[in-house]
Amino acid sequence: MHQAIVLCPGRPADITFDSRITSCDTDEMTKAISVRLDEDAERALRTLEASGMSRSDAIRSSLLASARRLRQREELAAEAAALETDHEDRDEMLAVAALMESLRATG
C-alpha cells in the first residue's frame, strides 16, 4: 500500500492510508491535497527530510522546482524554434562553421 500525504501549510504533514481528501482549518488561502507515493518518491522524500526540511516544505519546494524546470524547457524550446526561423542567424552560423572547417588542420 502507498502512503498518502496530506499537506496543510503551517502544520506537520499527516500520513494517511486512504484516498480521501482531508481539510485543514487555516486562515490562509491554502489547499490541502493528498498524494500517493511510490517507493522512489518515498525515498526522495526521506532524503529531503533528512536534510532538515519539513515534509510539507520538501513536497512544496519539489513541486515548485519541477514547475520551474518545465517552464525553462518550454522557454528553451521556444527560443530554439525562434532561432530556427531566423535566417540571418542561420547564415551567420553556417559562415562560422565554414570558417572553422577551413581552419581545421588536415591530417
Residue 12: closest CA among 58, 62, 66: 58
- Is the CB of residue 16 less than 8 Å from the CB of residue 34? yes
Report the Cα–Cα distance between both ends of the chain, in Å, rounded: 64
For residue 107, the model assigns a pLDDT of: 58
pTM, full prediction: 0.56
pLDDT of res. 3: 54
The reported pLDDT for the residue numbered 96 is: 96
Q: What is the pLDDT of residues 5-23, one digit of tens each?
A: 655 555 555 544 444 444 4
